Structure 1
């Protein structure tokens, strides 16, 4: 069983700051790191480090070939990454002294995909394989449609949350990853608990996985409800923690672990990630999580 990750690839410029820049303020950063990011690329690396076969579908500028080399070094199949003239997606990330982050995102090459190319990539999957999606690329609706025709399982992490998400065929999603804010926005309520009830009723055939930050994570479906606490760690940078969680959870399901064991493994992996700086560099390997 394999995964096709139709996901964003970004170049992250990560600035360590004393506080987030306020309107009209000029602030000197304490440090700058330039690393591979994008929710898609992060989740592909997390899947690979968790021990599953993953092929990444995406696009980058021709001058950024180092990204393909980096992904390949991390055991990600890059055969569906296209080199284009459009600028690569990129993000400007501020990380403050309490390890919170603020992100300005430019889509670039992540927003140029054609329906034909998406369908061609998904046609290579077999029944029972997985398609993983986030919300930083165009053509999400086309991808869901093609996956259903192909008999492929679909996991969706609708981040960043936009009004368009509610118009997607979410009834066709097998696994939906959200944080508390995304869940509330999708359900149209201010309460995460009420959002859980609404989404369970609205998408009765979908397994919902909600991350709760420092409080851990939960899984809810028509047949079970599991909630596990976070691991006690000292966070230095939360960038990429959610992507680490998604990759390790999906990998664990594919590897045959129970929902509870998968949830615990994903929480453990993301707890390690927040103790390190950066997005993709912070993602642990399976052996570290096991230990």
Structure 2
């Protein structure tokens, strides 16, 4: 099996700050670093490092070859990535000493991906492969419907949350991953709770340091809670993407929802002990060998 990811590719610029600035406040940064990011790229790297076969469908600007090279280095099939006459997407990430962040994203080429490009990539997918997308690109609804018609298992990470985007893809998706704020926004926008009525077979709600909750038909749609692993966070950026990439790679390998979630929780916990995004996502050996709390 393989995982096809319609996802964003960004240059992430990290600014270390004493605190996240208030409106109208100007403060000095104590440090700056730049690396590969974007929710899509993060998920592709996480899934590849979890042992999955991953092809990334996306776009960069003419200046974005470095990002393609980096994804290739991390084991991602980058042939479906286009170079367009638009700037490569980028993000400004403000980090405080507790590892919390505030993020500004400029989509750039991520919002100029063509349906023909997506269709050509998915023509190589096999029935039973998995397709995942987020809300940092265009053409999610087209991709979800196309993937569903091709017999792919369609997954959706509903971030950044957009009610119209969710409504457009909901009829076609099999797996939904979102955080508890996004779940509240979805309920407010649609009136739907995780249940047979929603029409999504598997719903996972992530809750940061509180772990996550699984809803699926196997347990009659009752909430199944999974605790987080307690760590001292250095940087929470990319932790949710790491969770999603590991979770979907697990499902693609045939793991149960529970097995995939338990590994994803461990991977995301290890991730928040590291500073950065795609470049520091742990590989499967790191995750399996890691003993939380060990010196």
**TM-score, L = length of structure 1:** 0.95
How many residues were matched structurally? 286
Aligned partner of 1:258 in structure 2 is 256
SS for the counterpart of 2:18 is coil
CA positional deviation for 1:23: 1.8
CA distance in structure 2 between the partners assigned to 1:196 and 1:262 by the alignment: 28
Aligned partner of 1:192 in structure 2 is none
For the 8 Å contact 1:226–1:260, the answer to whether it is kept is no
SS for the counterpart of 2:79 is strand
SS for the counterpart of 2:21 is coil
Determine which of 240, 246, 249 is the counterpart of 1:248.
246
For the 8 Å contact 1:171–1:206, the answer to whether it is kept is no
CA distance in structure 1 between the partners assigned to 2:182 and 2:102 by the alignment: 16
For the 8 Å contact 2:176–2:200, the answer to whether it is kept is no
CA distance in structure 2 between the partners assigned to 1:7 and 1:120 by the alignment: 16
Aligned partner of 1:276 in structure 2 is 274
CA positional deviation for 1:205: 3.9
CA positional deviation for 1:143: 0.2
CA distance in structure 2 between the partners assigned to 1:188 and 1:92 by the alignment: 29
Alignment of structure 1 residues 163-202 onto 2, 5 Å: 163-188=163-188, 198-202=193-197
CA positional deviation for 1:256: 2.1
CA distance in structure 2 between the partners assigned to 1:51 and 1:207 by the alignment: 22
CA distance in structure 2 between the partners assigned to 1:197 and 1:115 by the alignment: 29
**TM-score, L = length of structure 2:** 0.93
Aligned partner of 2:292 in structure 1 is none
For the 8 Å contact 1:35–1:278, the answer to whether it is kept is yes
Alpha-carbon deviations, 1:139-172, whole Å to 9, x = none?
0010011111111110100100013224213122
CA distance in structure 2 between the partners assigned to 1:18 and 1:278 by the alignment: 17
SS for the counterpart of 1:209 is strand
Matched, 1:203 2:198: yes
CA distance in structure 2 between the partners assigned to 1:197 and 1:134 by the alignment: 20
RMSD: 1.5
Unaligned runs of 5+ in 1: 190-194
Aligned partner of 1:239 in structure 2 is 237
- Structure 1 runs of 4+ aligned residues shifted over 4 Å read none
CA distance in structure 1 between the partners assigned to 2:191 and 2:284 by the alignment: 30
CA distance in structure 2 between the partners assigned to 1:152 and 1:237 by the alignment: 34
Alignment of structure 1 residues 72-111 onto 2, 5 Å: 72-111=72-111
CA distance in structure 1 between the partners assigned to 2:116 and 2:177 by the alignment: 27
Alignment of structure 1 residues 116-131 onto 2, 5 Å: 116-131=116-131
CA distance in structure 2 between the partners assigned to 1:56 and 1:30 by the alignment: 34
Matched, 1:222 2:212: no
For the 8 Å contact 1:177–1:246, the answer to whether it is kept is yes
SS for the counterpart of 1:138 is coil
CA positional deviation for 1:204: 3.6
Aligned partner of 2:53 in structure 1 is 53
CA distance in structure 2 between the partners assigned to 1:16 and 1:266 by the alignment: 27
CA positional deviation for 1:21: 1.6
SS for the counterpart of 1:48 is helix
Aligned partner of 2:67 in structure 1 is 67
CA distance in structure 2 between the partners assigned to 1:243 and 1:223 by the alignment: 25
CA distance in structure 2 between the partners assigned to 1:10 and 1:146 by the alignment: 25
For the 8 Å contact 1:183–1:196, the answer to whether it is kept is no
For the 8 Å contact 2:175–2:200, the answer to whether it is kept is no
